[in-house]
Amino acid sequence: MRPSGREPDAMRTIEMIPGFSAHAEGSCLVKFGRTHVLVTASVEERLPPWLRGKGSGWVTAEYGMLPRATHTRGNREAAKGKQSGRTQEIQRLIGRSLRAVTDLKLLGERQITLDCDVIQADGGTRTAAISGAWVALRLAIDGIMAKNGLGQDPLAMQVAAVSCGIHNEVPVLDLDYDEDSDAGTDANFVLTSTGGIVEVQATAEGAPFDEESLLRMLRLARIGCGQIFAAQLAATGR
Amino acid sequence: MRPSGREPDAMRTIEMIPGFSAHAEGSCLVKFGRTHVLVTASVEERLPPWLRGKGSGWVTAEYGMLPRATHTRGNREAAKGKQSGRTQEIQRLIGRSLRAVTDLKLLGERQITLDCDVIQADGGTRTAAISGAWVALRLAIDGIMAKNGLGQDPLAMQVAAVSCGIHNEVPVLDLDYDEDSDAGTDANFVLTSTGGIVEVQATAEGAPFDEESLLRMLRLARIGCGQIFAAQLAATGR
Amino acid sequence: MRPSGREPDAMRTIEMIPGFSAHAEGSCLVKFGRTHVLVTASVEERLPPWLRGKGSGWVTAEYGMLPRATHTRGNREAAKGKQSGRTQEIQRLIGRSLRAVTDLKLLGERQITLDCDVIQADGGTRTAAISGAWVALRLAIDGIMAKNGLGQDPLAMQVAAVSCGIHNEVPVLDLDYDEDSDAGTDANFVLTSTGGIVEVQATAEGAPFDEESLLRMLRLARIGCGQIFAAQLAATGR
Amino acid sequence: MRPSGREPDAMRTIEMIPGFSAHAEGSCLVKFGRTHVLVTASVEERLPPWLRGKGSGWVTAEYGMLPRATHTRGNREAAKGKQSGRTQEIQRLIGRSLRAVTDLKLLGERQITLDCDVIQADGGTRTAAISGAWVALRLAIDGIMAKNGLGQDPLAMQVAAVSCGIHNEVPVLDLDYDEDSDAGTDANFVLTSTGGIVEVQATAEGAPFDEESLLRMLRLARIGCGQIFAAQLAATGR
Amino acid sequence: MRPSGREPDAMRTIEMIPGFSAHAEGSCLVKFGRTHVLVTASVEERLPPWLRGKGSGWVTAEYGMLPRATHTRGNREAAKGKQSGRTQEIQRLIGRSLRAVTDLKLLGERQITLDCDVIQADGGTRTAAISGAWVALRLAIDGIMAKNGLGQDPLAMQVAAVSCGIHNEVPVLDLDYDEDSDAGTDANFVLTSTGGIVEVQATAEGAPFDEESLLRMLRLARIGCGQIFAAQLAATGR
Amino acid sequence: MRPSGREPDAMRTIEMIPGFSAHAEGSCLVKFGRTHVLVTASVEERLPPWLRGKGSGWVTAEYGMLPRATHTRGNREAAKGKQSGRTQEIQRLIGRSLRAVTDLKLLGERQITLDCDVIQADGGTRTAAISGAWVALRLAIDGIMAKNGLGQDPLAMQVAAVSCGIHNEVPVLDLDYDEDSDAGTDANFVLTSTGGIVEVQATAEGAPFDEESLLRMLRLARIGCGQIFAAQLAATGR
C-alpha cells in the first residue's frame, strides 16, 4: 500500500553513528532509511556579543544540503549567495527544538552550534536532523561536564522528531520522498522523552484536514519518537 | 487576568477596510486591535517563466514590516540587503494558506501577488495578514470575474488565521504583543470556513505542552476564525 | 488644461495627520492629493560608532515604497536585496533637507531616524516626505524637550518641499503622476520658512530649459511651500 | 582669497586627451586641474532586452573611483559588494546629461556605455566626467557615422558641466577639494552649447542660500562651460 | 621526523569508495588519511545558455567544506552569502584539471558538475578532491556510454593530484594539516596517467625556494600520483 | 613567428612611472607594452582588528580592471556586487608575492594596501601588477623610513613576475593578449632579485606539458625578471 511496503505505523530503519567526525566536540551521522544527515556540535567558550554577560548560554543550529543529496542537483546556496527560505525555516526549527530541552542557565556562557548537513536526502531531513542533533549535543555536553564539572546537567531530557502524513487517506508514519511528494497532508512533530510536545507543524498540501487526522498523526509520532529515543540512548551509551 | 483585560476566548476588535489602496486590483487594511496590516492583491496576466504553459495560475505572498511598526525601530530589510528568516517563513505561510483555498486551474494563467505590509504591530501580524489577504484576493478575483467571465469561481471558500497561546497556564485567543512575549506556548491556526484545518504551527516557548492544550487552543481558534469569517463577508459585501 | 483641472499655481489638497503611529516618538501621515506617505521619527539615545563623542547628534532618513503603492506593482527592494539608486538618492535628499534646519549640537548625542514609507503614490512622494518629516521631527523633538528639558530648541525653523514642472510649456506647481510622466522639465525645491533655499534640483526631461523658467518655477514653489508651512503648524499645534 | 589663489570666475586648467584608451570606440582623459577622469565610450550593437524593438538606442553611464584617487584610501566598491548612494546618484546624473543632447531615435538600436573612472580626485569629479564624456561620445558616434553612414548626426549639440559654490560668502567657479569641503553652498550646473539648462543641483551645506546667489552661480557656470565647450571642440578636432 | 612518522615519499592511506551517493550519476568518497571528500558527478543533458549550440559539452566543479570539517568551526559560506577567494580558487582548479583530460567535443552537448564537499579536513583537500573527482566523472561517463553509446570515450586518460612541501628543509609528499601549517613551501601538482603535467602551483610560505626543490617535489608527486592512479583504477573496476 | 614579431626570449617594452598618483604614499604606473596598470600603496597606521597587538604589520593587495580596459567591455564588478573568482585569485597572489619579500615584524604595526588597477589590458596584467607593486611599496616604505626612522629596512630584496607560455610548441616570454588566448600552456613566475622562487603557477590550457618545458619557461622567466629588476631600480632611484 505504502510505496515502501511499510505498515502505516512503521518507521524506516534508524541508525545513529556517534563520534562520526574527528574534530567536533560531539557528532552523529543519523540515518532514517536512505536519509543521511551529519550533525556536529561545536562548543565555543565565548558568546556572540549580543548574548554576553547575561549568565546563560546559547544553542543554535545551521542546516545545509549537499547539492546532489537529492534526486536532481540543486544549486549550492553558497554559490547563490543566500540561504533559501526553506533552509532558514528548518534551521530555526532545529535550534528551537534543542533549546527547548536545554537549560541555558546551567550551560553557562558558552555557545553550542549544531551543524546539520544532509549527505543524502529521501524525505524527513529536518526530523532526522533534530533527532541526531540531540545525540551530538549530548556528547558535547558530556565532554564539557567531564572537563570542568558543570554542577548540574543542562540537558535533562531527550528530544526527537518525526514526520507523519496522510497518504491515500491513511495516516502514516515517517514519510520517505515518494510518499512525501504525494501526501495530502504533511506534519512534523517534535516531542520530548517525558511525553511533552515541543512543536507541531501540520500543513494541508491538498484538501484541508480535520482534528481527528491531526490526533491520529500525533499518536503515530509518539510511536516513532519512542523508537528514536531508544536509538539515541544506545548511541550515547546510556 | 490577561494584560488587556479580555476574556480567554475574546478576540480583539476586528476591522477590515476593503479597497484601501487606489491602485491595487484588490486591497484591505485589516486591524486586529492595534495590529494594522495593509494587504494589496496585484493581478498580473502573465506568469513567471517557470510556471508558464501548465494551464494554471499562481497565488503568492510577500510580507514586510515598516521599520517603526514596532516598539523599537528595527532595521529596514531593503537596507540590510536581505529578508530575515522570520520574514521568509511568514510570507511562505501566507502564500500556502491562500493557495489552499484557491483552485489554481480555474484561476487560469495569471499570477496574484499578495503584499502584506505591517503598518503597526501589536502581535499576530501573520494571522491578521492571512485574514486580510483573503479579502484582497476575493476582491481581485471578483474583478477578474466581472471583466472576463471566468467560467467558475476559483475561490470556493474562505480562509482565516488566528493565534492562540498558553498564558499563565490558561489557553487564550488572539495574543497581543504583551501576552505573546510572555506566553509559554504560541500557536497559529489557519482554518477554512468549511471547518477544515489548513495549517497548525504550535511551539513551546518554555515548557513543552500537552495534547489537551493543543486541542483547547484549536477550539479557541475556531471561535476566533468564526468572527473573522463574518468580518470578511461584511468587507466583501457578501 | 492640467490633467487634474488645477490652476498652474494650485497645490493638491494637503492633509497632515500627526501622531498616526502608536509607537514612534513622532509621526505624520502626509497626503498631497492621492500621494500618501507615512513618516515616523525614531529617537535613539545612542549614536552609531562613527558619530560618537563629538558632542552633537544626527538626523537621517530612510525611504521606501510599498510594492503596490504605484499603478503597476514594483519589485520589493527587500526581496531584490538592494535599494535602487532612486531610493538612495531620495533618502539622502530627505536627510540633508532636515539636517539643514536642525542644530545638531543642540540636539545632543542622539540620533533621529526619519522613516518615510510611501503607502500610495501619485507623484511628488519625495517632496511630501520632506514636508511630513518636518512634522514628525518637530513632534519627536517636542517630546525630548518635554522629557529632559534641552536648553534650547534645535529646530529653529521649518522646511518644506514641493515639485514644479513645465507642462505643455506652462510652469505648474505640485505635479501629480499624470503630469510628471509628461512634463518637459521636473524640479524639486526645498525651502525654509525664513525664505531660504535649501536645495534646488531641476532636470530637463526633454528640451533644455532657460533661466526664466527656473525662476518662475521657484516662485511657484514659494507659493506651494507657504501652504505647506501653514499645514505643518496646524498639525503640530503651533 | 581662494585657497588656490584663483579669481572667483577662474576655472582650473582644463586638459582633454582624446583617444587615451586603445580599445574603446571613443575615449578621453579629462583633467580639471588635479582632478583626472578617464572616460571610455563602448558601443554595443545590441540593446539590453527591455529596450529592444522600439527603434531607438540608449546612452548610459557608470562611475567609479579608484580607491586611492582621494586623500585617504576609500574602500573598493567591488570588494564591499555594492555601489554607494553617491556613486549611483552621480552615474544617473551623467547618463541623463548625455541623453539630453542625444537623439536616441537617430542613434538606432545600439547602446553606448560611458564609463567614467576617477584616476585622481580633487573636487568636481562628476562635472569633469560629464564634460569628458561628451568628447568620448562624440568620438564614438563619429566612428559609427564613418562606418555605416547614419543618415543624420544624433549628437546635435554639446553638453558640459561645472560646479560652483559660495565660499566665504563669495560665489566662485569650479571648486577644488579644499574649497568644496569648506563651501557653504555647492551647486552643479549642466549646460548645453546652445545656452540651455539641462540640470541644476544646488545644495546648502550650511545656511540656506538665496535666489540672488543661485543666479550668480548660474552666471559663473556659463563662463566655465564656455571654456569647456572650446576644449571639447579642440579635442574632437572640430 | 615528519609529525606523522611517515617517510618523506610516503603517501597517507588512500581509500576510494565508488558509488557512495544513491542519487548521483557518479560518486566517490575519497580519503587521504583523515581527509575525507565526497565527490558527486551530476549529468545534465542541457547546457547553460552561453555554452549551447557549439557541439561540445562542459565539465565544471564546485567545492565546499562543512563548517566543522576543520579543527575549529568555520563560518558557513551559504550563511555569509559568499564563497571565499580560497573556495573559488580551488573549484576553478578542480574544473580545469578535469577538463584537461576530457574531450569536450566527444562528450556532446551535456554538462557534468563535480561537487566536491569536504566532510573532514586534514590537509590536501583540493588534491584529494581532484583525485576523487576523476572516479566520479569516470563512473558518470561510463553510465552515459552504457545508455546511449557515445561513439568514443571522451575520457582518454586519468588525472590525479597530490601536494608536496618542504618541511624542515626536506621535500615531503602528501602533507597533512600539521605539516602543512608548518611547511616552508607548499606545492600542488596535477598530473596525468600518461606522464604529463596539467598544473603546478608552488608557493613559498616563508623563504623563497630554488629550482632543485621544485624538481624534487615534482618527483615526489609522480610517486604519489602513481599510487592514486592505481587506486582510481581499482575503484572503477578497471 | 610570434604575433608581435618578438624573439622567444624578448620582453615587451617596460616602462615604470613612479609617483604617478598625487595622494598615495607610493605609486607606480607600470607598462608592459600595451598593458598598463596603476599601483598605489596606501599606508595606514592602524591594523584591522584581527591583526592588532602582534607586533607586526601587514601587506595586502586589491586588484581591479576598468570595464573597458579590454577589447570588449566587461561588466563592472562594483555594479555586479561581487568580485569574480579570477579577481580574487589575482589579488591573493599579488599580496602573497609582496609579503614574501617584506619582513612584517620590521614593518611594525601598520598596514600597506597595494591597489592594482588595470587601465589598459593586453595580457600579463597580474605580473605587471606584482612588478609595479614592488615600486609602489618601496616608495611607501622609503617614506615611512624617512619620517620615523624604522631601525631596519623591512624590504630587503626585490620581487618581480612575468608570464611565459608555450606558443606553437615554442616556449616564449611575456605573452601579450594574442599569444595568451592561443597558447597551449600558460605560466606565471614570481622571482626574487636574489634568485629565489616565490611562486610558480603553470597551467596546461590544451595538452599537458612536460618537465623540460617547465624548466625552459623558468629560464625565460629569469631573463625577463632580470630586466624588470633593473627597471624597478631605475624607477626608485637606486
Residue D134, pLDDT above cutoff 90: yes
Residues facing B172 on adjacent strands: B165
3-state secondary structure chain B: CCCCCCCCCCCCCEEEEECCCCCCCEEEEEEECCEEEEEEEEEECCCCHHHCCCCCCEEEEEEEECCCCCCCCCCCHHHHCCCCHHHHHHHHHHHHHHHCCECHHHHCCCEEEEEEEEEECCCCHHHHHHHHHHHHHHHHHHHHHHHHCCCCCCECCCEEEEEEEEECCEEEECCCHHHHCCCCEEEEEEEECCCCEEEEEEEECCCCECHHHHHHHHHHHHHHHHHHHHHHHHHCCC
Q: Return d(Cα E87, Cα E77) in angstroms, integer.
A: 9
A203 and B207 within 8 Å at the Cβ level: the answer is: no
Contact residues for E144 (Cβ-Cβ < 8 A; gap 6+):
E25, E43, E110, E150
pLDDT of amino acid A103: 96
Strands F26-32 and D159-167: unpaired
Number of domains in chain E: 1
Closest CA to C193 of C165, C163, C156, C153: C156
Q: What is chain D's mean pLDDT, rounded?
A: 95
Alpha-carbon distance C25 to C44, whole Å? 10
- Is A14 in contact with A36 (CB distance < 8 Å)? no
| Cα angle, residue C39 at apex, residues C37 and C45 outer, rounded to 5° | 165
| Dihedral sign (CA E136, E142, E144, E147) | negative
Which residues constitute the domain of residue C29?
A: 14-236
User: Is residue A36 within 8 Å of E29, Cβ to Cβ?
Assistant: no
CB atoms A100 and B204 under 8 Å: yes
- Rounded to whole angstroms, the Cα distance separating B28 from B137 reads 9
> Given strand D35-44, what is the order of strands in its sheet?
D14-18, D26-32, D35-44, D111-120, D58-65
Tell me whether residue F46 is annotated as binding.
no
pLDDT score for F61: 98
Distance CA F112, CA B11 (A): 64
> What CATH code is carried by the domain that includes residue C124?
3.30.230.70
3-state SS assignment for residue F99: helix
Residue C41 forms beta bridges with which residues?
Answer: C26, C114
pLDDT at residue B106, as a whole number: 95
Report the pLDDT averaged over residues E181-191. 93
CA torsion E146→E147→E148→E151, rounded to 10°? -10
Sheet holding E185-192, edge to edge: E170-173, E159-167, E185-192, E197-204, F197-204, F185-192, F159-167, F170-173
pLDDT band with cut points at 50, 70 and 90 for residue D108: very high
Pair E140, E25: CB distance under 8 Å: yes
pLDDT at E238 over 90: no
Residues in B 81-110 with any Cβ partner in C closer than 8 A: 81-83, 87
Q: Is C124 annotated as a binding residue?
A: yes
Give the phi and the psi of residue A213 in degrees, each rounded to 5: -65, -40
Cβ within 8 Å of residue C35, ≥6 positions away:
C12, C118, C120, C121, C122, C123, C124, C125, C128, C176
Report angle CA F83, F88, F92 to the nearest 5 degrees. 150
- The answer as to whether F3 is a domain residue is no
Q: Which helix (H) or strand (E) holds D113?
A: strand D111-120
Per residue in A87-141, pLDDT (tens digit) is: 999 999 999 999 999 999 999 999 999 999 999 999 999 999 999 999 999 999 9
| Domain-located, residue F38 | yes
**Mean pLDDT estimate for chain C:** 95
Pairing outcome for strands A26-32 and A35-44: antiparallel
Q: Where are the beta strands (DSSP E) in C46-184?
A: 58-65, 111-120, 159-167, 170-173
Q: Is residue A164 within 8 Å of residue A172, measured between CB atoms? A: yes
First to last CA, chain C: 37
Q: What is the pLDDT of residues C191-217, one digit of tens each?
A: 999 999 999 999 998 889 999 999 999
Query: pLDDT by residue for chain F (238 residues), tens digit each?
Result: 899 999 999 999 999 999 999 999 999 999 999 999 999 999 999 898 888 888 899 999 999 999 999 999 999 999 999 999 999 999 999 999 999 999 999 999 999 999 999 999 999 999 999 999 999 999 999 999 998 878 899 998 999 999 999 999 999 999 999 999 888 899 999 999 999 999 999 999 888 999 999 999 999 999 999 999 999 999 999 8
Does some domain include residue D2?
no
d(CA A94, CA E118): 23
| pLDDT > 80? residue C43 | yes
Cβ B200 vs Cβ A200: under 8 Å:
yes
F18-47 burial code (b ≥16 CB/10 A, e <16): bebbebbbbbbbbbbbebbbbbbbbbeeeb
Compute and round to an integer the Cα radius of gyration of chain F: 18
Residue A149, pLDDT above cutoff 80: no
* Yes or no, beta carbons of F89 and E91 under 8 Å apart: no
The pLDDT confidence band at residue E206, using thresholds 50, 70 and 90, is: confident
For residue F116, being part of any structural domain is answered with yes
- Quote the CA–CA distance of D164 and D220 in Å, as a whole number: 7
How far apart are the C-alpha atoms of F185 and F211, rounded to whole Å? Answer: 12
Query: CA F222, CA F229: separation in Å to the nearest integer?
Result: 10
Nearest residue of chain B to residue C91 (CA atoms): B79
Whether B196 has its CB under 8 Å from any CB of chain A: the answer is yes
Give the integer Cα–Cα distance in Å for B136 and B132: 7
| pLDDT for B90 beyond 80 | yes
User: How many CA atoms lie less than 13 Å away from D54 in the CB half-sphere?
Assistant: 14
A198 pLDDT above the threshold of 90: yes
Question: pLDDT grade, residue B223 (50/70/90)?
Answer: very high
ipTM of the shown complex: 0.94
pLDDT for the residue F48: 87
CA pseudo-torsion sign A180, A186, A188, A189: negative
Is residue C128 included in any domain, yes or no? yes
Cα–Cα distance, F133 to F153 (Å, whole number): 17
Q: State whether D196 and C202 contact (CB < 8 Å).
A: no
Cβ contact (<8 Å) for A24 and E62? no
**Does residue D93 lie in a domain region?**
yes
Q: State the first-to-last Cα distance of chain D, in angstroms, to the nearest integer.
A: 37
Other Cβ atoms closer than 10 A to D168: 11
| Average per-residue pLDDT for chain B | 95
Residue D5 within a domain = no
Residues constituting chain F: 238
pLDDT of residue F50: 85
Which chains would you list as touching D if contact means 3+ CB atom pairs under 8 Å? Answer: C, F
pLDDT at residue number F46: 86
Is the CB of residue E202 less than 8 Å away from at least one CB of chain F? yes
Contacts of D140 in chain F (CB under 8 A): none
Q: Does E217 touch chain F (CB under 8 A)?
A: no
Helix %, strand %, coil % of chain A (to 5): 35, 30, 35
Taking residues B61-80, report their average pLDDT: 96
Of F68, F115, F120, the CB nearest to D66: F115
CB of A24 closer than 8 Å to CB of A42: yes
> Looking at the whole model, is its pTM more than 0.80?
yes
Q: Which H or E element spans position E163?
A: strand E159-167
CA distance A24 to A44: 11
β-pairing verdict for D111-120 and D58-65: parallel
Q: Quote the minimal CA–CA distance from E159 to chain F in Å.
A: 11
Q: What is the mean pLDDT of residues B223-227?
A: 98
Q: For the CA atoms of D92, D96, D99, D101, what is the dihedral angle to 10 degrees? A: -140
The answer, for A111 touching chain E at a CB cutoff of 8 Å, is no
Check pLDDT > 80 for residue C149: no
Instruction: Collect all residues of chain D within an 8 Å Cβ-Cβ radius of residue C89.
Output: 85, 88-89, 92
Question: Distance between terminal CA atoms of chain B?
Answer: 37
D185: nearest CA partner in chain C: C198
Asked if residue A63 lies in contact with residue A116, where contact means CB atoms within 8 angstroms, the answer is yes
CB contacts of D78 in chain F (<8 Å) are 64, 76-78, 82-83, 87
- Nearest-Cα distance to chain D for C233, in Å, is 21
Does residue F2 lie within any of the structural domains?
no
